[in-house]
Amino acid sequence: MPASLKLGAMTAASGLAGHELIKGHGTENDFLLLIDPERDVPVTATDIAAACDRRAGIGADGFVRVVRTRSLPGAQAFHEAVPEAEWFMDYYNADGSVAEMCGNASRLFAAVLDAEGLCPMTDGDSITIGTRGGARTITRVGDLWTVDMGSARLTHPDGALADVEDEGWDTVVIVPGLEGERAALSISMPNPHTVVALGEEGELDAATFAGLTDSGAPVVYEPVPQAGTNLELVVPLGQEVDAVTGDRVGRARLRVLERGVGETRSCGTGCCAAAVALHVWEGEGAPEDYRLLVPGGEVGVHVGAAPLAEGSTVLLTGPATVTGRVTIA
């Protein structure tokens, strides 16, 4: 691991002054983590946005406070219901806004708990953590980590333009760089996602996103997502046969525009939403496993035979890498 760095004081991040942040990523979806077991550090949304700023701060797609569940305000009922979840992933987007869940951050969260000796894990060990999306179980699989992402569900947005059960879509999206309107499917993981299938990789490369606020050339949604959304543009790449299991595996390439962040190199919940959408669109006999190629690498998603059925869960597998430490002066 690189040696710790000392970063000069960021005026807007005074709440973090004197504290060490751990930097890491999951398929280049990068995060800053603050080890704060008893929630002693008075971090604000402004502090988080300043630290995540890639020009004036350290830079990251999101911020995680590593905190004991019992120390997090409002989590008492959850702590009593899921006592095995000692640790809570207190997650925020790069703009300081609260987010329900992040699959890539979950893998890094477990890796940091292990590296810091807070919850040592060997191959095959699992840990249950708390998130705003509910309890999540993470298992170490060699050098990789598998997260039980919970259930996927169709959002059924108010004002949907089509019957999703009949048509396979409910929303129309206009993406800068692409011609015309595109049909999309709204999925909750439990954070909101809008998935658009494209016909070729050239279209995927042609799409243009305007950064954090997406204000330069905004993506247009009809109906407008009431709580915002994450946009996935996905190109199916056919299927392959797993050399070990012999099972069919779907392949796809995608890009993600994350709510409160901008375009990221990877998005765990976005990959899960894209895999579920591909399974829904293919219908009966669709693969139960998918390999998703993102700008930051590759992740695996297991959706099972019926990902939208009651009690079903989606599994996300990928790497997690700790890259260094920074102390805010």
Q: Are strands 5-7 and 321-328 parallel, antiparallel or unpaired?
A: parallel
Q: Which residues contact 276 (CB under 8 A, 6 or more apart)?
A: 152, 187, 189, 303, 307, 308, 314
Q: Whole-angstrom distance between the N-terminal and C-terminal Cα of the chain?
A: 21
Dist CA 237 CA 222 (whole Å): 27
Strand (E) positions, the chain? 5-7, 20-26, 29-35, 62-68, 87-93, 126-131, 134-141, 144-148, 153-154, 171-174, 182-188, 192-197, 220-222, 230-241, 248-258, 262-264, 289-294, 297-302, 315-318, 321-328
* Residues 187, 250 contacting (CB under 8 angstroms): no
Which amino acid, 266?
S
Token pair in block for residue 106: 């979950």
CA angle 84, 92, 131 (to 5 degrees): 20
* Residues with catalytic roles: 102, 267
